[in-house]
Structure 1
Amino acid sequence: MGGSVRDVKSKAELDEVVHGGAAVALHFWASWCEASKHMDKIFSHLSTDFPHAHFLRVEAEEQPEISEAYSVSAVPFFVFCKDGKTVDTLEGADPSSLANKVAKVAGSVNPGEAASPASLGMAAGSAVLETVKEFAKDSKEKSQVQVGQSTPLKKRLQQLIDSHPIMLFMKGSPEEPQCGFSRKVVDVLKKEKVKFGSFDILSDLEVRDGIKKFSNWPTFPQLYCKGELLGGCDIAIAMHESGELHEVFKDHGIDTVDETQVSDSGNAKGGISKSTDLSTTLTSRLESLVNSSPVMLFMKGKPDEPKCGFSRKVVGILQ
């Protein structure tokens, strides 16, 4: 292994390394994300401090199959694997947590030496500490400079999102999708028999880069309903198969239409109707569930066995 970061080019290549059983640290990044670049410096330093682990880098948008498989919804995002299984994740730019999690999954810095993940300095060395200081300083400066810089673009993006009750940012058009993931989401919407607008992100680089930052979602397609981001391809498919997507559309007053009218290619408006009121019995049951504990989580699966990445993240936060 020898202390270097390797760029992953395919899911098959990644699976081979992960299933090999050794400790693996995986960094999902994007070229447009400044936080990713800062964290990548720290990631590279850690690969030197922990030469007995694999350090892999994945460009989230260029490898959508891998991003979808690991439920990547924002960058930077880190996944930690051991014995062929995902044992931990980290979302966001948190240098200390990154060093601690790497130390935990990779073991000691030197053979025979006990790991001490509680201390960033002990876990990663002085080089990382220096990078952390640079990161903190640069992040503060950039946040101060960037406030209000892209107001016209934000306004345009919001107008696009709000232009249709269901809005799909995709590669190509519904009639001619330019990637398999976009095609799958278009098929899902056709099966749901709903009218939707779309925007070809390949036709406008400003919108393509801007919507990734705006939604904090690094891959395409991106599906919105009434201004709310639902997610990408895997989430849309899972929600469709479980019936949840139909319920979301119903709750937001989205009418079903004739299959020949499900796409308006970004021109016409989708149908709107009033939501059906919940029955008294169901309302009573829901109130009882909500009030059954001081903190109540409605999730997919259960705390010890979450059935989706987002539920797992919330459980992790509560724990």
Structure 2
Amino acid sequence: MGGGVDEIRSKAELDEAIRGGDLLVLHFWAAWCDASKQMDQVFAHLAADFPSVRFFRVEAEEQPEISETFSVSAVPYFVFFKGSKVVDSLEGASPPSLAEKLSKLAGTNGQKSNPEVRVEDQTHPRVDWGPELTPEKPPQSASSSLNSRLEELINRGPVMLFMKGTPEEPRCGFSRKAVEILRQEKVDFQSFDILIDDEVRQGLKVFSNWSSYPQLYIKGELIGGSDIMLEMQRTGELEKTLVEKGVDRGGEPAEERLRNLITSSPVMLFMKGSPDTPRCGFSSKVVGALRGEGVDFGHFDILEDEEVRQGLKTLSNWPTYPQLYYKGELIGGCDIILELHRSGELKATLSE
């Protein structure tokens, strides 16, 4: 038993492997990830050193069902099983941490841990872990100066993506997926490559209380990683969030479009429905008041365009509809229009 590394190619194969009840370690990897390739070498050495432990690999992106089951959001990632239950996990390329966890778990399984794999034992033939595999230090509390820098980075643009690599050259599949989602949503976004700045890479985990990358922020608020982005896109929640926060989604800038709509007619009514078929009582009353004064007006049905519906609330700082504008200036909503109508001031206000 043991001594080698086997490939898991389906959920059924994984279920069968776990069912054995042995001490088992699962390595989630990706072919494009240099750290995964180098950790494969480490994994193979450890498999030889721990013949009583079963070692398996899973191609994270080719087996999304398995990856999602264990909330894998970055590679390399390791999951440890004992007695068919998950007992530990490890994210990142840290050979000493991997060896230490294996040694402890093998020891508590009634087996003698191989002294040659102990991190502190320098007599063991060394594996060249490579410069990218330097163990990451546990995140510490970020300094105030680092916090200020992180806040500045997070607010560098309305949509900010902290990722591995760049949008043109992502260095992990999860970052690549995040970029794809934002491009599908036609979002202009800024990015930061956390691989080039370890201070930001570690500090942001503490600052945001989010342990993996990518991390997406919209108007300074953490949204989440690629799995959350994918789910929000599927349900339409991502589009709604972008609209509510007034994020430019390509084409004519959102604010410019709103101002063009507001000034498209000297008297402009943003309402629910149309003047002939109002879809709320307040809109109906305003239409009645305008027609009663013989005022010509343009209109826009905010129920047909969520971007306008949400964006205009922010631009005008007026949370409800209808909204009436005269020569680009907000007059008010239903209560104000009806009061002007009752006092005889409405027509004069709209002809000044």
TM-score by length of 1: 0.48
Higher alpha-carbon Rg: 2
So what's the TM-score if we normalise by structure 2? 0.44
